[in-house]
C-alpha cells in the first residue's frame, strides 16, 4: 500500500511509499483531513515515495495551509528522492514548503514558510 497511517504519542504519522498519483488522491485527501482533524501534530514521511504527481503535491500543499489555519503542527519529513524533489520544484511548491530535511534522530523543521 502506498499510504499508511500510524499514531504514536498523540502524533499522526502518514507514510508515503511507492508512486503517489491521482489513483490515490481521494484516499490521501481523506487521510490528511482525518489526521488534521484528530491530532495537533501530523508528520508526513516521504523517503519511501518514488514519485509524487501534481495531484498529490496539490493535496500536500492544501493540507499544509489547512493545518495552519486549524492550529495543527504539520511537517513533511524527508529526505526527498530526486523524482519527488522535481515534482515539488516543477509545481512551484518550494516557496510555500521549506525543503524537507529531517534525518533519522532529528526533528524536521516546519514546512510552512512566511508568504510576503
In a domain, 83, yes or no: yes
User: Is residue 99 assigned to a domain?
Assistant: no
The CATH number covering residue 75 comes to 3.30.750.24
Residue 102 has pLDDT above 70, yes or no: no
104 domain-assigned = no
Residue 16 within any structural domain of the chain: yes
CA 89 to chain centre: 15
Instruction: Give how many domains the chain has, as a whole number.
Output: 1
Asked if residue 98 is part of any domain, the answer here is: no
Q: For residue range 49-82, what is the model confidence (pLDDT) as tens digits?
A: 999 888 998 898 888 889 888 989 888 887 778 8
Residue 108 lies in a domain: no
Domain holding 76, by residue range, is 3-90
Q: pTM for the complete prediction?
A: 0.78
Residue 106 CA to residue 86 CA, distance in Å, equals: 24
CB atoms within 10 A of CB 101: 12
Amino acid at each position: 500500500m502506498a499510504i499508511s497511517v500510524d499514531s504514536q504519542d498523540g502524533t499522526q504519522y502518514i507514510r508515503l511509499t511507492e508512486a503517489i498519483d491521482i489513483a490515490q488522491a481521494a484516499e490521501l485527501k481523506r487521510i490528511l483531513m482525518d489526521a488534521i482533524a484528530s491530532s495537533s501534530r501530523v508528520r508526513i514521511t516521504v523517503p519511501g515515495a518514488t514519485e509524487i504527481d501534481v495531484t498529490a503535491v496539490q493535496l500536500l500543499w492544501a493540507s499544509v495551509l489547512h493545518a495552519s489555519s486549524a492550529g495543527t503542527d504539520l511537517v513533511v519529513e524527508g529526505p526527498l528522492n530526486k523524482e519527488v524533489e522535481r515534482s515539488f520544484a516543477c509545481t512551484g511548491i518550494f516557496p510555500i514548503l521549506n525543503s524537507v530535511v529531517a534525518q533519522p534522530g532529528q526533528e524536521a523543521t516546519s514546512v510552512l514558510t512566511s508568504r510576503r
